[in-house]
Structure 1
Amino acid sequence: MDPRFGYTFPAIRGVQAKREYYVSMCPLRIIPKIFYFDEEEAALPAELRAQRILNTNRVPEIAEYVLNNQDSYVFSAITASIDADVVFEPLGSDDISSDVGMLRVPLDSKFIINDGQHRRAAIEEAIREKPALGDESIAVVFFIDRGLERCQQMFADLNRHVVRPSKSLGILYDHRDRMSQLTRLVVLKSDYFKDLVEMEKTSLSPRSRKLFTLSAIYGATDALLEGRDLDDLAPAADLARDYWEEVFRQMPEWQFVHDKKMSAGEVRSDFIHAHGITLQALGYIGNELIQRAKNEWKKILRKLRDIDWARNNAHLWEGRAMVGGRLSKAGQNVTLTTNAIKHALGLELTPEQERLEKAFNRSQRDA
């Protein structure tokens, strides 16, 4: 290899599975230049490609994340294979400096991204809007390309054990999203909810002592505060907590769990009011109540006690909250559940709710 023509990367050498690999810090501006999108490869059948096809819908979202969080964004390393014979020149011969040096790569080499193609495309888009980002860096892990089969296996291995965090855990750890911050305030500052909300998992086992998931509270609170200004979190969180605690007071079974007179699993098994679909419906109803009945909404919520929330009350809940005896959170089921609760509270339906209600009643008569 002619040292005058090629790429030179400061790198650290390592060994995995008896093969050398190299880690370098690359300026963002060179990422789109060395890792270009191969349209010809994208047109090949899946079995002849080393990567999945780029999902262009994901790219603007990632680019926007970088642009909106220029002081705090985080990118994991890009993993790539090089289809050439590279030369690693260590800084020295001792144990430490022998694995630190310069990685020289021929100019005509082809780089194949094994993991990170959407990050690469988003970096290119973000730099177009904010060129100064090009001076920042990202870690790149270089492997030596051993052919298509090896590249496909690397892609499979890199994605084999990838598990997305649960929605609840994502909400718990997200300090950028205003609604995530607000939901945490609602739960953690409420004596009613803080011991009954599962903060990590998105589903609850029958033996769980928790009554709700954080993700369910998030979705319901998002519906409750839809259209409201969240710039000042404290008053919005106080309003949401006030609403949910008033709902709590109207649900005897919730109070029994809080007072350890009933198990959470028993309540979730026998009643629909501790599930996400009902919380979502109550969120939408609360949104209307707080806006239209500012001084009366607590009084109106007392009628929640008159509702038979039992799952075996199929006459009321089948086709609304349940389909075939199983709870369903499909959009129309949330609306039909909302309608049933509004009817019990003496509230008018919106035109869209009325349209779906009429369609539901027709289907019940024709059944």
Structure 2
Amino acid sequence: METEAATAATRVVAPRTATGFEYTFPAIRGIQAGREYYVSMCPLRLIPKIFIFDEDELSPELRAQRILNKGRLPALTKYILDNPEDYVFSALTASVDGAMEFDSLGTDGISYRAGQLRIPMDAQFLINDGQHRRAAIEQALKDNPDIGNETIAVVFFHDAGLARSQQMFADLNRHAVRPARSIGVLYDHRDSEAYIARVLAGRSEVFKGYVEMEKSNLSARSRMMFTLSALYYGTQSLLQGLEIETNTAADLAQEYWEQVDKSLPEWKMVRSRALSAPEMRRDFIHSHGIALHALGRIGNSLFRESTAPSRWKKRLTPLKKVNWSRSNADWEGRAIVGGRVSKSHQNVTLTVNYLRNHLRLGLSAEEQRVEDAYLRGEA
């Protein structure tokens, strides 16, 4: 059953123009760069029906937006379906190729800005920003039609031609900056692994006070040893596939990293102020994201053999003999490429292989393939 709000959001009314029936949106009128635009709410069930994309077959110069990346849709759709009570989507931005008439509620003040926006049903609605949200909404509606009466904000501009639409796309995306992964982990209260990373950063003697919580890169002078994103990915690889309760997982992860800490004296030296964090990061690689990720994968292998501390802790003993210094030529091509630490998937695997060999752990078939390619000089 439709809610009153959803029913009021968009109506199809009797024809008032020669072109046919109209959509009527309750809207607010605004002005940008001397042009009127309108903000309204649209029921999700109407989004797939009235908003279109450019044809994928058109060449880029004839389109007003990028081609839909269908690989993004499963995650966006799952986000809606898994969080029906607290998902959040920002507004869609659309150009309307057709007449738009705005009926104000009054002649001045707020009443002049508020009213009804009337758009002929034969007008075309082209999304300038939000095509992936639109496609995800369409997919989610198939699995959960009940969300059809919920609404999303839509900003309507008059379509002033292809060049203007292309410029709108460029302008809307020109200054878009993806937030640092660390702050995403800090603020994510749905992801249990993000929760575990925050717990470790807050209570483990290894990490407390030495984790950068917002940025995913450390400045040369930062007193921090790790980033929250590096801790997140390292712990994620550590716990991957282990079916244990979240708090138990957090305890296990803390025990593991504190055991690793015993084999890395430089970490303790920073905490005791015998060595500065910038000096440690400059001369060693074991606090970098690639090292935490690799150590996490090593721990995951040990946990799969046995989560009994007496067993996996003993297997970590040879870790003390690993030379983590940047000057160690063994890291070139593995963790370091051209003098810089690399976090590529291949380099993570090569770093894992190096540690496995030191700990006398076998390589998987994929790890062996990457290792063989590296030894042949193909990596």
TM-score by length of 2: 0.89
Identity %: 57
Alignment of 1:19-58 (within 5 A): 19-39=35-55, 42-58=56-72
Which secondary structure state, in structure 1, belongs to the residue aligned with residue 356 of structure 2? Answer: helix
SS of residue paired to 1:146: coil
Q: 2:200 matched to 1:178?
A: no
Q: 1:254 to 1:18 in 2, by over 3 A?
A: same
In structure 2, the residue matched to 1:139 is: 153
One-letter amino acid of the counterpart of residue 307, structure 1: V
Instruction: Please give the residue correspondences for 1:28-177 in structure 2 after superposition, counting only pairs within 5 Å.
Output: 28-39=44-55, 42-177=56-191
Report how many aligned residue pairs link the two structures: 360
Instruction: Name the residue aligned to 1:250.
Output: 263
Q: 2 CA distance for matches of 1:133 and 1:320?
A: 49
- Please say if residues 206 and 257 of structure 2, whose CA atoms lie closer than 8 Å, have aligned partners that are also in contact: no
Alignment of 1:339-350 (within 5 A): 339-350=353-364
Look up the match of 1:327: 341
1:13 aligned residue (29, 36, 44): 29
What whole-Å deviation, never above 9, does each CA across 1:188-234 have from its counterpart, x for those lacking one?
A: 1213202111111111121111111111111111111122124x211
Amino acid at match of 2:312: W
Cα distance in structure 1, aligned partners of 2:278 and 2:339: 17
Instruction: Find the residue that maps to 2:36 and give its secondary structure.
Output: strand
Going from structure 1 to structure 2, the CA distance change for 1:358 and 1:53 (only over 3 Å counts) comes to closer
Q: CA deviation at 1:23?
A: 0.7
Q: Which moved more, 1:146-155 or 1:133-142?
A: 146-155
Q: Distance in 1 between matches of 2:374 and 2:123?
A: 63
Q: Does 1:317 align with 2:331?
A: yes
For 2:105 and 2:83, the matched residues in 1 are separated by 37
Equivalent position SS for 2:357? helix
- Among residues 288, 313, 329, which one is paired with 1:275 in the alignment? 288
Q: 1:195 to 1:134 in 2, by over 3 A?
A: same
Aligned to 2:322: 307
Seen in structure 2, the aligned counterparts of structure 1 residues 26 and 261 have a Cα distance that, compared at 3 Å, is: same
Distance 2:32 2:311 in 1: 67
The reply to whether residue 337 of structure 1 matches residue 345 of structure 2 is no
How far 1:268 sits from its partner (Å)?
A: 1.1
Q: What letter is aligned with 1:7?
A: Y
Q: Partner letter of residue 345 of structure 1?
A: L
CA distance in 2, matches of 1:65, 1:123: 10
Alignment CA distance shift 1:354-1:138 (3 Å): closer
Question: How many Å apart are 1:83 and its aligned residue?
Answer: 1.9
Q: Which AA in structure 2 matches 1:105?
A: I
Do 2:95 and 2:157's aligned partners in 1 also have CA atoms closer than 8 Å? yes
Q: Distance in 1 between matches of 2:215 and 2:241?
A: 28
Aligned equivalent of 2:278, options 257, 265, 268: 265
**Letter aligned with residue 210 of structure 2:** L
Deviation at 1:341, TM superposition (A): 2.3
Per-residue Cα deviation, 1:70-121 (whole angstroms, up to 9, x for no partner): 1111110011111223211111224121111111112221111111111111
**Structure 1 runs not aligned, ≥5 long:** none
Q: In the alignment, is the contact (CA less than 8 A) between 2:52 and 2:124 conserved in 1?
A: no
* Partner residue, 2:313: 298
Structure 1 position 57, deviation (Å): 2.0
1:38 Cα deviation from its structure 2 partner: 4.7
Structure 2 CA distance, aligned partners of 1:335 and 1:192?
25
Return 5+ residue gaps in structure 2 as ranges: 1-15
CA distance in 2, matches of 1:206, 1:61: 36
1:306-333 deviation per Cα after TM superposition (whole angstroms, max 9, x unaligned): 222111111x322332233332333343
